Amino acid sequence: MFCMDSNDRKSISNSLLKIIQKYVSLSGFSISHDDISSKIDLVERILEILRIENKYLDNNLPMERFIQGRLDIDQSGIHFSSPKILKDSGSGTAPIRFQPKLLLFLFFRHNRGRYKVYDIIDSFIKTVWDSLETVDFKKTKTGVMRCFTNTRFAANTLRDYGFLKFTKKEAYKTWVLSLSGLLVASKLIENVDWSLPKVDKEWKSDLHPDVREVFNELKTYDKFVDRLTKICKPNTKIFEDFKKGSIGSYSLLDDYWKVLQDQSLSKNERKKRSSEIIGFIEEDPEIEKFFKEFSRCIKVGDLLGLK
């Protein structure tokens, strides 16, 4: 007998796999990359036929009721008991918890081609999969999974604060790290862990502290250079060749981080002021030259094999 929490998901899966392996067989072709995936695909198509023939296309068993019920899988079949009292299951993993790992993920995708937003989200979700709850995979009325929607919300906030570039070139087609985004990622790669971090409740902010507090360690220009040098190709000279842009970016980013840390400002004020500073960074021709060269010299390498 299983409850539908994340700890039992594996046990439920194993029980169902035994049934599928026993009663489902394929010959002559493979739908997916392995045998069990092909069998799962086949079973799903069979259930789709049942829906079509019964003129019943929508699933009217709410995910919340399902995950709070009890499931019994044995030799006699599958038995479900609905909960007597339905509790609020929430809206899945909060978007703010996705922010640090999304920046880290985009860093490992840096300079590896332009990816469409959907493909980025799909690959990102597979990377942080083990941190997600069952309710994260509930489909909304639009047919999109909550974890996909919440990842978009996370990216929107990061873009609003300038951690993702937002020019006519990027628009909403792809997500690309800005200079401040790369700076955060340069800290996050010191401990690559794909479990989604919790959020402190000390003061209200729509930015995760792992993102918001990165600049605390960069009190001088030399520390700023040291941090960014760590993610550059060996023997880089961009901080010398583009020194004016490098110093200018540090100065403006210092002002930018002070705004992010100012607890006297409301969320909207912080967002407005930080956006103004990011605008100055984006418009400065010397900083733009520095950023382009810095972006090219970043050494991602094969630090991590992502799905």
Residue 266, φ and ψ in degrees, nearest 5: -75, 165
pLDDT of the chain, 307 residues: tens digit per residue: 445 555 577 788 888 888 888 888 887 766 656 688 888 888 999 999 999 999 998 888 888 888 888 888 877 778 888 888 888 777 789 999 999 999 999 999 887 767 788 999 999 999 999 999 888 998 877 788 999 999 999 999 999 898 998 665 655 678 989 999 999 998 998 888 899 988 876 667 889 999 988 888 888 999 999 999 988 888 888 999 999 999 999 999 999 999 988 888 888 898 889 889 988 998 899 999 999 999 888 887 544 433 3
Q: Nearest to residue 21, comparing CAs of 42, 48, 47?
A: 42
SS3 226: helix
Q: How many helices (H) and strands (E) does the chain have?
A: 13, 3
- What pLDDT is stored for residue 6 in this prediction? 53
Q: Give the sign of the dihedral formed by CA 59, CA 65, CA 67, CA 71.
A: negative
Which strands form 2-3's sheet, in the order they lie side by side? 2-3, 70-74, 77-81
Each domain of the chain, given as residue ranges in start order, spans 2-81, 95-297
**Residue appearing with tokens 């418009």:** 283
- What pLDDT is stored for residue 31 in this prediction? 61
Residue 14, φ and ψ in degrees, nearest 5: -65, -40
Q: Nearest to residue 132, comparing CAs of 8, 295, 6, 263?
A: 6
Q: What is the DSSP string of 242-286?
A: THHHHHHHHHHHHHHHHHHT-TTS-HHHHHHHHHHHHHHHHH-HH
Residue 10, φ and ψ in degrees, nearest 5: -65, -40
